């Protein structure tokens, strides 16, 4: 184990894939390391929900990269898990957008 991994604490964040997904592949990376991959992600429009997961993340600010190769899209978000333990991702108007609700429906 390298020194950084040995000294940094880990915490969980909740990530929800919400609106706009339709048979998509979604890859999420935390500081460059793949943390989640799912294929055929499709939104259930009645409840604005496609998928959800919990990710192990550093206990301080980190980069959350979201890649949707089925659409040729990639976005990065700087996240502070202490301030934003919940991340909701949606495809809206051709853009990947993140929101930081106080609670998510599956929590």
Q: Which residue has the tokens 């998510």?
A: 104
| pLDDT tens per residue across span 3-22 | 444 556 899 999 999 999 99
Q: Which residue has the tokens 């259930």?
A: 44
Its pTM stands at 0.87
In the predicted model, is pLDDT for residue 1 greater than 90? no
Q: Where are the domains of the chain?
A: 10-99
| pLDDT tens per residue across span 32-49 | 999 999 999 999 988 999
Which pLDDT belongs to residue 107?
Answer: 42
Q: What is the mean pLDDT of residues 74-90?
A: 96
Domain 10-99 indexed as CATH 2.60.40: yes
DSSP β-bridge partners for residue 98: 89
CB 52 within 8 A of CB 17: yes
């Amino acid at each position: 184990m390298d020194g950084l991994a040995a000294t940094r604490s880990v915490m969980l964040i909740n990530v929800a894939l919400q609106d706009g997904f339709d048979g998509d592949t979604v890859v999420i990376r935390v500081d460059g390391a793949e943390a989640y991959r799912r294929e055929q992600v499709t939104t259930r429009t009645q409840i604005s929900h496609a998928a959800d997961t919990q990710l192990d993340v550093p206990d301080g600010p980190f980069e959350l990269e979201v890649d949707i190769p089925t659409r040729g899209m990639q976005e990065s978000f700087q996240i502070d898990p202490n301030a934003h333990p919940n991340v909701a991702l949606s495809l809206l108007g051709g853009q990947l957008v993140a929101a930081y609700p106080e609670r998510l429906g599956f929590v």
